[in-house]
Amino acid sequence: KQEVTQIPAALSVPEGENLVLNCSFTDSAIYNLQWFRQDPGKGLTSLLLIQSSQREQTSGRLNASLDKSSGRSTLYIAASQPGDSATYLCAVQGAQKLVFGQGTRLTINP
Amino acid sequence: EAQVTQNPRYLITVTGKKLTVTCSQNMNHEYMSWYRQDPGLGLRQIYYSMNVEVTDKGDVPEGYKVSRKEKRNFPLILESPSPNQTSLYFCASRGQGRILNTEAFFGQGTRLTVV
The reported pLDDT for the residue numbered B99 is 64
Cβ–Cβ of A46/B33 closer than 8 Å? Answer: no
Closest of A23, A41, A42 to residue A98, by C-alpha? A23
- Residues A19, A25, A30, A34, CA torsion sign: negative
Helix (H, G, I), strand (E, B) or coil at B14: coil
The reported pLDDT for the residue numbered A40 is 85
Question: pLDDT per position in chain A (110 positions), as tens?
Answer: 899 999 999 999 999 999 999 999 999 999 999 999 999 878 899 999 999 999 999 999 999 999 999 999 999 999 999 999 999 999 999 877 899 999 999 999 99
The reported pLDDT for the residue numbered B1 is 81
Q: Between A and B, how many CB-CB pairs are < 8 A?
A: 56
The reported pLDDT for the residue numbered B100 is 61
Judged by a CB distance cut-off of 8 A, whether residue A101 touches chain B is yes
Judged by a CB distance cut-off of 8 A, whether residue A108 touches chain B is no
Judged by a CB distance cut-off of 8 A, whether residue A96 touches chain B is yes
Closest of A100, A92, A94, A40 to residue A66, by C-alpha? A92
CB neighbour list of residue B2: distance below 8 Å, 6 or more residues apart? B26, B27, B105
Residues of A in contact with B103 (CB under 8 A): 32, 34, 46, 49
Residues of B in contact with A93 (CB under 8 A): 100-101, 104
Distance from CA of B15 to the nearest CA of A (A): 23
Distance from CA of A78 to the nearest CA of B (A): 24
Rounded Cα–Cα distance for residues A75 and A4 (Å): 15
Low-confidence ranges of chain B (pLDDT < 50): none
Distance from CA of B24 to the nearest CA of A (A): 15
The reported pLDDT for the residue numbered A41 is 78
Nearest CB among A42, A49, A52 relative to B103 is that of A49
Are A84 and A77 in contact by the 8 Å Cβ rule? The answer is: yes
